[in-house]
Amino acid sequence: MNISDVPPFGLAHFTAIGVPPIELVGLAARTGYASIGLRLYPAFPGAPFYEIPVGSAGSREMRSRLSGEGISVYDIEFVTIAADFVPVSLAPMLEAASVLGAQRLSVCGDDPDHARMVSTFAQLCDVAADFGMGVDLECMAWRQVASLPAAAAVAQEAARPNGGVLVDALHLSRTGGTPADVRNTSASLIRSAQLCDAAAERPASTDAIIAEARSGRLPPGHGTLPLRDLLRALPDGTILSVEVPMSGSANPEAHVRTIFSATRALFD
């Protein structure tokens, strides 16, 4: 990716998960983002998420607000593909997302059976394709798919045109990856990337790694991750978003403005 110019980038919902979708649209527009992601599925038991059923007043209002503010919905989060996951169960959520214009669904892989993981991912890609969407597999240190090469292998073996991988700057680092791994991944698989920063030292335990991912990320440029090298390694056309969950009683608008300014500075 050429980083001499600032590309449009999106606001991941987890950055301000307490802000309802309707309000997130206006927040993104006021602070300079081009798109948003939405949490329409619980990332883990008890995790916050929002429902916007097809045909509901909320769906109609959301579409009107998106059009009026000039903001698009890029991706929907966040689904874990475990051993008992049934892809067709997501059809209502995917339909609701597609009505809002969403293009991708983000997932992680937590099935220890590689062949079954590949098969389930392929089935999910097929279900998503019915709604004009693709699926991005993200690696995480505490999941079975715990590296970028492992995620790329699943997507490659599934052999679905709408299947790919999502490169998250923090997860790439905490799973032992580097920008070189991104360069060594087929460009056709990399559709999306999420930016954040972090301290140099990898947390010592799995619980600490999870805690960092959910509440300890830093604004881009405020840590030591090789973000500019990562950006250069990403294929042209990769869609960028920023995921830096806020903590405590921080003001959401001040927080996302800080993240926006920090991200733009990566391209200076």
pLDDT in tens, 59-100: 999 999 999 999 999 999 999 999 999 999 999 999 999 999
What pLDDT does residue 250 have? 81
Per-residue confidence band for 43, with pLDDT thresholds at 50, 70 and 90? confident
Answer yes or no: is 4 within a domain: no
pLDDT tens per residue across span 168-212: 999 999 999 999 999 999 999 999 999 999 999 999 999 999 999
CB atoms closer than 10 angstroms to residue 237:
10
Query: Would 1 be classed as within a structural domain?
Result: no
pLDDT at 187: 98
pLDDT in tens, 64-74: 999 999 999 99
> In angstroms, rounded to a whole number, what is the distance separating the alpha carbons of residues 138 and 121?
12
Nearest Cα neighbor of 258 from 179, 197, 167 is: 197
pLDDT at 188: 97
pLDDT tens string 138-154: 999 999 999 999 999 99
What's the pLDDT score for residue 87? Answer: 98
Within a domain: 2: no
pLDDT score at 145: 98
SS3 call for 163: strand
**Which ranges constitute the DSSP H helices of the chain?**
21-31, 57-69, 91-99, 114-129, 148-158, 169-174, 179-183, 206-215, 227-233, 252-265
What value does the mean pLDDT take over residues 215-240?
97
Give residue 27's domain range: 9-265
CB 213 within 8 A of CB 170: yes
At residue 268, the pLDDT reads: 81
For residue 35, give the CATH number of its domain.
Answer: 3.20.20.150
Mean pLDDT (whole number) for 17-40: 98
Mean pLDDT of the chain: 97
Percent of the chain with pLDDT over 90: 95
pLDDT at 230 over 90: yes
Q: Is residue 163 part of a domain?
A: yes
The SS3 of residue 142 is: coil
Please check whether residue 155 lies inside any domain of the structure: yes
How many domains are contained in the chain? 1
pLDDT in tens, 237-259: 999 999 999 877 789 999 999 99
Whether residue 13 lies inside any domain: the answer is yes
Domain assignment present for residue 3? The answer is no
Please report whether residue 131 resides in a domain.
yes
Average pLDDT over residues 112-123: 98
Residue 44's pLDDT band (cuts 50, 70, 90): confident
